[in-house]
Structure 1
Amino acid sequence: MAYSCCLRGIQWDVEPKGSETTLGGRPCYVSGGTQEKAIMIIHDLYGWSFPNIRILADHYAEEVHATVYVPDFFGGERKSVEIINTPSRWGELDLPAFLQKNTKEIRYPEMLECAKLIRSRHSRTGCIGFCFGGWGAFRLGARDVGLFDCVATAHPTHLTEEEISSIGVPVQIMAPEHDPQFTAELKTFSLQTIPTLNVPFDYQVFPGLTHGFATRGDPENDAERKGMERAKNAAVHWFRQWLDDL
C-alpha cells in the first residue's frame, strides 16, 4: 500500500483533557483557554478525533500556554482508530477514494477559513501539520497569507517544492531519517531553498526514525519514545519562541 507509512503506528494510552466544539461550522477539539496565543493543529490521516493528536494538543496548550485547536478537515468522517494496530484492516479505508475526497483543492479553503477565525480571536497564532497536514501548514505560512506568526511540520505528506519555496514566516521541519513521503529530494530542496528566503528556519533530524513517529510512535520502543518526546519539546520551544511577545 502506497500510504502504509501514513497508517502505521501506535495509539497512546492516555486520555485527552480538552473538549469538543465547533469552529466555522465544523467539529473541532479545543484544549487550553488563553486569549493571547493560539495554535492550530492540522491532523494526519487518522483525523481530528485521533486521541494521539488530541494528547499533543493538550501538551502544547499546557506547555506553550496557548489555546490549541484541532479542526476536522475530513468532512465529518471519523476513522476507526482500532485499525492502527491491525495492518490487515488498513484496506478497509479505501485510501484512493478517501484521498479523492480530501484533495488540497477541497480542504485548503476550510483550513484557510479556520485560520482566519483563529486569528480574529487571538493576537499571536501558530500552526503545525502532521503527515496529511504538513502541506496545509506550509500553505498557511506562505508569504501572501499572513495569518500565522510561525508554522511547523513533522513528516509532511504531499508537500511540493512550490509550497516550500513560498514560505514567508518562521518555519520548523521535523524530519525522520526514513520517510517515503518527505523524500530525500524534498529534504535537500528544503535545506537549500528555505535559507535563501529570509525567514527563520529550524530543521530537526531524527536519525533511525520513520514517517509518523511524532504522532504514532511506540512509547514502549526506547528510540521512538525519545523521538516523540524530542519532537514535542522542539515544537513547544518553537511556539514559545515565536508566539511570546517579541
Structure 2
Amino acid sequence: MSLCEDCIKGVRHEGNPEGKWETISGVESYIGTPSGEYQTDKVLLFICDVFGPQLPNAQLLVDDFARNGIKTVAPDLFEKDGLPFDIFDSEEKRQSFDLPSWFGRHGPAASRPLLDKVISALKDQGVTTFAATGYCYGGRLVFDLAFENITSVSIGNHPSLLKSPDDLEKYFTTSRVPLLLNTCTVDEQFPPPAQSQADAIFGSGKFAHGYKREYFDGCTHGFAVRGDLSNPKVKAGKEGAFKASVDWLYQYGFGPVKNETK
C-alpha cells in the first residue's frame, strides 16, 4: 500500500475552530460537542488524512458535524507528527518531503492501536455505538473497523490504501455496517474502475445493510477536506459530501435528539 501525490496536496480553509482538545487514554483528540441535547451514547469517529486533526480544515468539519447534533471525536493517530501544512505551498516542498519514511512510522498498523485505545476509553465513558468517517488515509481505517463490526455506520471520503476489489469483497462478506462512499472524478487511490467495482459488489440492493455512492464531478482526491473552495465544482463537492454524510448518519440513527411535543 502507498499514498499518491494528491494525498499531500491541498488548500487551507478559512474559519475559527470551536472544538476542544482532550486527551483520551493518552491520545490527544479534537472534539466537537453539540451545543444542545444529543445522543451521549453515540460518537462519530473522525479519522483524518495524513495531516491529522491539527489541520484547521479537519477541525472545521468536526465542528460542522457537532452543529448537526453529532458528538465527534478526531484522534491524533500520528502523535503530533502529521504532515506539515506548509507542504501545500509549493511543489518543491512536496517533492522534498520523505513520505515513505513518514508512512513507515505511521502506517495503519501503527495508528490502529491508538484508535482502539480511544474507542475503549469512550466505551468506558458510556459510549455504546460508533460511526466512522474517514478522509483519504482515514478511509482505510474505516474499512478495518467495519470488517470487525466495531462501528455501526461507515463513510469513506475518497478513501486511500484500499485494494480493489479485495477489500470491497471482504467488506461485503464480513461487515454488517452501512457504507457511504463519497467519490470523485480524478482519484488515483480510488479511481473510477474501483468505484464501478463497488457499485457492482454492493449496489442494486445486494448489500442488505445499506450502500450508497455519491459522485462529485470535476473533483480530485482530497476534495472533501482539502479542496480549493475557490473552484465552484470543488466547493459544491466538498459541501455535497458533507451533506451526504450527515444524511447517512441521520438515516442510521445518529441524528440529534428530537423533543416530542404532546
Q: Same fold (TM over 0.5)?
A: yes
How far apart are the structure 1 equivalents of 2:76 and 2:114?
9
CA contact 2:10–2:227 (8 Å) conserved in 1: yes
Partner of 1:20: 21
Shift of 1:207: 1.1
Structure 1 pair 109–168 and aligned structure 2 pair: CA distance change class (3 A) = farther
Partner of 1:172: 180
Deviations 1:51-99 (A, max 9, x none): 1011000001111x12110001113314321221322211343101011
TM-score (normalizing by structure 2): 0.86
Q: How does 1:79-118 map to 2 (within 5 A)?
A: 79-118=83-122
The root-mean-square deviation of aligned C-alpha atoms, in Å, is: 2.0
Structure 2 unpaired stretches of 5+: 256-262
Shift of 1:12: 0.3
**Quick check: 15-24 or 80-89, which moved more?**
80-89
Shift of 1:125: 2.2
Shift of 1:117: 3.2
How far apart are the structure 2 equivalents of 1:237 and 1:153?
14
Partner of 2:243: 233
1:218 maps to which of 220, 228, 241: 228
Do residues 42 (structure 1) and 52 (structure 2) align? no
Larger-gyration structure (1/2): 2
- Write the letter of the residue equivalent to 1:57: V
1:67 maps to which of 66, 71, 78: 71
Do residues 199 (structure 1) and 209 (structure 2) align? yes
Aligned length: 242
How far apart are the structure 2 equivalents of 1:203 and 1:119?
30
Structure 1 unpaired stretches of 5+: none
1:152 maps to which of 151, 155, 174: 155
Shift of 1:106: 1.9
How far apart are the structure 2 equivalents of 1:39 and 1:25?
19
CA contact 1:214–1:227 (8 Å) conserved in 2: yes
CA contact 2:3–2:161 (8 Å) conserved in 1: no
How far apart are the structure 2 equivalents of 1:148 and 1:2?
25
Shift of 1:48: 1.8
